[in-house]
Amino acid sequence: MAVFSLIIINKAGGLVYQREFQPGLRKLSTNDYLVLAGTFHGVHAITRSITPKLPLAPAAALATTPTTATTPSPNNVVSPSATSSTPTSSTASYSYPNPGVPATGLECLETDKFRLTCFQTLTGTKFLLFTDPLMANIEVVMKKIYELYADFVMKNPFYQLEMPVRCEAFDRNLQGWLRGRT
């Protein structure tokens, strides 16, 4: 299954990494990639704030609401799925639909030709993965990419935080792993 390309966006919305692994998508200019990263960052933030807040009713009512409310509407291209929240503190008077999971924004965007999956780390870095729409187990790929990023980018003394990623070992290992998978 095809993994077309990977984009990494830093916590300020800047593009720090863009690499193509398999042909299948049209190439954009560097400037367009920068715009895509910045725009996605903004849209992601907005979709997160869209997440409905449910008034905090007595505990019994809260238990029944969540599951039905979260399912994203399938006819939308942009689906802010799995929007949810951390367990609310005692002072808050509302709760997100799916208690126990932190609120996330846009996670998945699908077209006929590709699927864009977004994974945001706890520190705010976003990984955007362009894959074949039929590809399964994207979480596994995403987890491995995050692991390689933590190893070969964050443990590299020459990498400056929030700056473009130019780590030869990261490229090499990422490409090697993806090639080994197909």
Partner 1 sequence: MAQPARHAAMLSISNSGPNLPVAAAAADRQQPAQHIHTQSQSSQGLRVPSNRKTIYDRHLNRSRNAELSRASFAFLFAEMVTYAQRRVTGIQDLERRLNEQGYPLGLRLLDLLFYRTMSSSTSSALSSSSSTSSSPPNRPLRILPLLHLIHGPLWRLLFNRPADALEHSVSPETPNEYMITDNDPLVNTYISVPKEMSMLNCAAFVAGIIEGVCDGCGFEAKVTAHNQPTEMWPGRTIFLLRFGESVMEREKVLERAGVK
- Binding residues for partner 1, rule: CB under 8 A, are 151-152, 155-159, 166-170, 172
Tokens of 80: 């802010």
Distances (CA, A) of 142 to 31, 52, 98, 120: 25, 27, 23, 10
* Closer CB to partner 1, 55 or 157, in the complex: 157
* Closer CB to partner 1, 92 or 169, in the complex: 169
Helix (H, G, I), strand (E, B) or coil at 62: helix
Residue of 37, 40, 42, 32 whose CA lies nearest to 14: 37
CB of 28 to partner 1, least distance (A): 24
* Closer CB to partner 1, 27 or 179, in the complex: 179
Tokens of 125: 């870095």
CB of 8 to partner 1, least distance (A): 15
CB of 160 to partner 1, least distance (A): 10
